[in-house]
Structure 1
Amino acid sequence: TERPAYNRGESRTERPAYNRGESRTERPAYNRGERTERPAFNRGERTERPAYNRDDRPQRPSYNRDDRPQRSSSDRPERGSYNRDDRGPRRDFGNDRPRRDAGEKNFYPNRDAKGHFTPEDDVVLERLEAQATLATDVEGVSFSDLGLGGNIVAALAELGAPSPFPIQAATIPDVLAGRDVLGRGRTGSGKTIAFGAPLVEKLMENGGGKKRAMGRKPRALILAPTRELALQIDRTVQPIARSVGLFTTQIYGGVPQARQVGALQRGVDIIVGTPGRIEDLIEQGRLDLSEVTITVLDEADHMCDLGFLEPVQRILRLTAPGGQKLLFSATLDKGVASLVKEFLPKPSVHEVAGEDQASATIDHRVLVVEHRDKDLLIEQLADRNEKTLIFSRTRAYAERLTDQLEDAGIRAVALHGDLNQARRTRNLAQLTSGRVNVLVATDVAARGIHVDDITLVIQADAPDEYKTYLHRSGRTGRAGKEGIVVTLIPKARQRRMTDLLGRAEIEADYVNARPGDEIIEELAGRMTNEKLTR
């Protein structure tokens, strides 16, 4: 239907028009001129201010200094005169302070007079006769010949160890015989199997494999200084133990303890852990070491360096009296001597000849560089297809180097104490799996790195002591494979570096280097997979 049409023009009434101009009343006009005038004030009629004549003021009295009475020095009382000869004798304090002769300049100690490294710093092996084992001594020897059972030998073969290394051939018979063992061998010489395999075999004696009751107490304890090393040890020991029906568990800090407590409640045979968390669970009454008959201390020197000497002593005293003790370390110095004295009175001592210091499989180089060139040199050295480990002194430098390498297109991850346990484990797994080829780490975190195919170690910051150098260099050249250790130092540090290498009994070539030099290309590209043979 059509809308109705509205005729707006005709039917609508018009609005009324309002005539603003006619009907509205006008506002009243105000004539400002009619206002009354303000009264005018004649300022001239004011009374005048009285004028003051300064001359009318009274005069001040004048004082004449000459009128004052004269003072005479003779009026002062006489000061008593002191005769130095009348003084009593000076007190004698025993003359215990040494007098220096005139011209003698020994207030500051002479740099050359500081204590040098002496054999006493490495006391244990000097006091005990060590049986050095050469690789030629174990040719043709099998694990079965050393006394290990068939299941354990098969498990070792699956782990890639069909025949024993020297340190294994030397220590396994002594462990099986029930003797205490003091083993000195560079990291990577096969120490884990050297104590892990015979430890499992010992637990199987006298029907030990049948003791599987719920909540049973552990019978073996393996102590390590770091969480990473504890995990590495367990990865080797667990399959060996599982092959004969034994169970292991890891106990370390940095993670919730509920899972660890649950494993202890179910019952385990072998504990692998760090001293801190183990002591915590002992104090809580959740861990009982009274039936532990075999105790292993791995990297004992590093445990002492980290301040774990007293916790380790307390833990060992809680194990079964007369239990067997196995101590392994890359260096055996004063920190370890107290442990040996108390817990290993008559151990069998073994060291792998040549593997604790200058290994024949490791090439040591020292590059003398300018500080401004260092980061670029590290980048050029790490730009390779094989695994590289870089050591830095600080966590901040480790992060900065990692970021720099990533920006340059080199896959890298960091490992240091500021990372939580999950992140550290994940970063280390990325290196192990080959997802990244470069790991930048600080010393404490890197002690748990046990990756067999690291072919280059770069020390971005030179170590301060020879033990640190040995442990760093032990990350490469493992299990008989070849490796390179490159240390970057400024010119001013050459003398200290020479002293350090002398203590470590290592010979290294010093080369002045700049980015792009031929030596950099050689070090970055000389190692090939064909050389990684055992």
Structure 2
Amino acid sequence: GRDDRAPRSNGERPAYNRGENRTERPSYNRGENRTERPAYNRDDRAPRGDRAERPSYNDRAPRSNGERPAYNRGENRTERPSYNRDDRAPRSDRSERPAYNNDRPFTRGERIERPSTRRISAGRDDRAPRRDNNFDRPRDAGADKNFYPNRDAKGNFTPEDDVVLERLEAQATLAVDVEGISFTDLGLGGNIVAALAELGAPSPFPIQAATIPDVIAGKDVLGRGRTGSGKTIAFGAPLVEKLMENGGGKKRAMGRKPRALILAPTRELALQIDRTVQPIARSVGLFTTQIYGGVPQGRQVGALQRGVDIIVGTPGRIEDLIEQGRLDLSEVTITVLDEADHMCDLGFLEPVQRILRRTANGGQKLLFSATLDKGVASLVKEFLPSPAVHEVAGEDQASATIDHRVLVVEHRDKDRIIEELANRNEKTLIFSRTRAYAERLADQLEDAGIRAVSLHGDLNQARRTRNLAQLTSGRVNVLVATDVAARGIHVDDITLVIQADAPDEYKTYLHRSGRTGRAGKVGTVVTIIPKARQRRMTDLLGRAEIEADYVQARPGDEIIEELAGRMTNKKLTA
């Protein structure tokens, strides 16, 4: 078809003629002769103009004959067979479809009259209002007062699990009740009493005086007492005494099976327990071993092959060794669960149940927990059917030995305030929500000349142990930790706990604050929050049954100097 374009075939293409006749280029001639441009004269293209003669499309039936009713947009549209439902007998009789017919006649006319065809509202009329679900329930039960507690809840936590509603009905023991009582009076042997004196415990604490006689008597014991109340000795000393009965101290066979098991939620706590129990056990010739993850199992397996009497460990590694056939708990007659509530929080409920079921039938169980959750309650129901229940009166979190403060700060001032609070001579523990923030805070304090180390899950076990030892020995005064790692911190002389990130649950607050004010010593807990969090914080403290002062604070304020233990000039001259 290009042969008909005469002007372009003769080589005189004016579009590229750059000479003096440029004005003669017809394609750019904007004047009156514009219609003479041959390249754009469509009239000369006869073959393309006669579109009806195109053979490649001429094999179709004519579109004008009206035989294709589906596309006939004219007056005969009603003849479109594709939409004539009469020809589709099975589908047109919709009333015969039982899956969608609720025993009432159905016509297409009625379909239009239905309240709504939207999926969201059809058939919902008989349901209760949506505000009755768990998210909105607090609005019905006291408006805003109970709203924030449920926001604090995690995972599958439900209101009926609330520990506040299910405090242990415990036999309280006052400090005055144990005045003048010695460990010997409680039934412990001379070697054990001497070992306790070397550990710095010449006389029993209330929780010890309450539980030791029951443990020696063979009773199951459920103890409520915060960390620092002396509960490790409360179960460790009578456990050793109990193993010595009936010539138990003479069992020295190689490869003997363990007879006592102490379970802890974290490696650090297991190590702390062993540091207390081991010297008590050694005083009467018994042996302990630690079994926890994060380290090679060779030494642990070697100790089991030589034979041990008491195992202190975490559920994960203990279950691993059981499955490998390297650990047999069939002769364990005394089992201790320390910080059972935290064990359940970490997801160890089912492993703990499996482990306890492998111990000797009728064995003695001792369970210590600050709170009684649904998970802990299930353990109590299965393994401690009728326990002796004890708590230490006056040893709760509202104890006069702990001063609770809340600093309301601007976000930009937060790190600087933490730095000023931590710049002190006594030991300080700082809590952060994330591992990254813990590491950053430790680095920031080091840059400011404050010796600090971190403790979190990204560190290997050797590093965690070394960092904790640095705090215990006094080589550093500040430890920045995450919640899980800090559960194993049992250092008696921490005098200040700083919560750089406020906790989400009141139970977390209880455990954090339990790191200070230990063994009757005075401690301070400072929580740093932004203004927007005051309401949630107030509710959280209410559920923990704690009263705390709220103070607006900025870097350099007198309240910071006071909390850090640096007396101001005003107070020195007062």
TM-score range normalised by the length of the shorter chain: 0.7 to 0.9
Give CA-to-partner distance per residue, 1:341-369, whole Å, 9 cap, x none.
00000000001113233121000000000
Give CA-to-partner distance per residue, 1:27-67, whole Å, 9 cap, x none.
99999999999999999999999999999999999999999
Alignment of 1:318-467 (within 5 A): 318-467=358-507
Report the Cα offset of residue 82 of structure 1: 22
Alignment partners' CA distance in 2, 1:66 and 1:3: 67
The match for 1:233 among 264, 270, 273 is: 273
SS in 1 for 2:311: strand
Report the Cα offset of residue 399 of structure 1: 0.7
Report the Cα offset of residue 18 of structure 1: 76
Alignment partners' CA distance in 2, 1:317 and 1:59: 79
Cα distance, 1:262–1:19 mapped onto 2, change above 3 Å: same
More displaced 10-residue stretch of structure 1: 2-11 or 235-244 = 2-11
- Percent identity reads 90
Report the Cα offset of residue 468 of structure 1: 0.2
Report the Cα offset of residue 121 of structure 1: 3.8
Alignment partners' CA distance in 2, 1:414 and 1:451: 15
Q: Is the 8 A contact 1:132 1:353 kept in 2?
A: yes
Correspondence for 1:213: 253
Give CA-to-partner distance per residue, 1:200-228, whole Å, 9 cap, x none.
00000000000010000000000000000
Cα distance, 1:265–1:371 mapped onto 2, change above 3 Å: same
Alignment partners' CA distance in 2, 1:41 and 1:118: 72
Alignment partners' CA distance in 1, 2:132 and 2:31: 124
More displaced 10-residue stretch of structure 1: 368-377 or 350-359 = 350-359
Give CA-to-partner distance per residue, 1:461-485, whole Å, 9 cap, x none.
0000010000000000000000000
Alignment partners' CA distance in 2, 1:25 and 1:65: 57
Q: Is the 8 A contact 1:481 1:531 kept in 2?
A: no
More displaced 10-residue stretch of structure 1: 182-191 or 126-135 = 126-135
The match for 2:550 among 503, 510, 525 is: 510
SS in 2 for 1:13: helix
Give CA-to-partner distance per residue, 1:289-338, whole Å, 9 cap, x none.
00000000000000000000000000000000000000001112212000
Q: Is the 8 A contact 1:482 1:531 kept in 2?
A: no
SS in 2 for 1:140: coil
Alignment partners' CA distance in 2, 1:113 and 1:280: 31
Give CA-to-partner distance per residue, 1:107-134, whole Å, 9 cap, x none.
9999999999999545699586410111
Is 1:59 equivalent to 2:99 in the alignment? no
Alignment partners' CA distance in 1, 2:499 and 2:343: 22
Alignment partners' CA distance in 1, 2:55 and 2:157: 111
Alignment partners' CA distance in 1, 2:500 and 2:28: 98
Report the Cα offset of residue 381 of structure 1: 0.2
Correspondence for 2:62: 45
Give CA-to-partner distance per residue, 1:260-301, whole Å, 9 cap, x none.
000000000000000000000000000000000000000000
Cα distance, 1:254–1:4 mapped onto 2, change above 3 Å: same
Alignment partners' CA distance in 2, 1:314 and 1:64: 68
Q: Is the 8 A contact 2:166 2:372 kept in 1?
A: no
Cα distance, 1:533–1:130 mapped onto 2, change above 3 Å: farther
The count of corresponding residues between Structure 1 and Structure 2 is: 531
Report the Cα offset of residue 11 of structure 1: 88
Cα distance, 1:530–1:234 mapped onto 2, change above 3 Å: farther
Q: Is the 8 A contact 1:222 1:271 kept in 2?
A: yes
Q: Is the 8 A contact 1:209 1:245 kept in 2?
A: yes
Cα distance, 1:124–1:179 mapped onto 2, change above 3 Å: farther
Cα distance, 1:63–1:40 mapped onto 2, change above 3 Å: closer
Q: Is the 8 A contact 1:367 1:489 kept in 2?
A: yes
Alignment partners' CA distance in 1, 2:344 and 2:213: 28
Alignment partners' CA distance in 1, 2:153 and 2:24: 121
The match for 1:75 among 69, 93, 112 is: 93
Cα distance, 1:331–1:386 mapped onto 2, change above 3 Å: same
Aligned-pair Cα RMSD in Å? 15.6
Report the Cα offset of residue 426 of structure 1: 0.3
Q: Is the 8 A contact 1:481 1:532 kept in 2?
A: no
Give CA-to-partner distance per residue, 1:4-30, whole Å, 9 cap, x none.
999999999999999999999999999
Alignment partners' CA distance in 2, 1:89 and 1:27: 77
Q: Is the 8 A contact 1:230 1:272 kept in 2?
A: yes
**Structure index of larger Rg:** 1
Cα distance, 1:326–1:527 mapped onto 2, change above 3 Å: farther
Q: Is the 8 A contact 1:455 1:527 kept in 2?
A: no
Q: Is the 8 A contact 1:197 1:237 kept in 2?
A: yes
Alignment partners' CA distance in 1, 2:129 and 2:18: 135
Alignment partners' CA distance in 1, 2:190 and 2:470: 34
Cα distance, 1:49–1:495 mapped onto 2, change above 3 Å: closer
TM score, norm. by length of structure 2: 0.72
Report the Cα offset of residue 234 of structure 1: 0.2
Alignment partners' CA distance in 1, 2:235 and 2:90: 105
SS in 1 for 2:284: coil
Q: Is the 8 A contact 1:296 1:327 kept in 2?
A: yes
Cα distance, 1:532–1:390 mapped onto 2, change above 3 Å: farther
Which ranges in structure 2 are unaligned for 5 or more consecutive residues? 1-11, 42-47, 104-125
Runs of 4+ aligned residues of structure 1 deviating over 3 Å after TM superposition are 2-71, 74-129, 526-534
Alignment partners' CA distance in 1, 2:136 and 2:76: 84
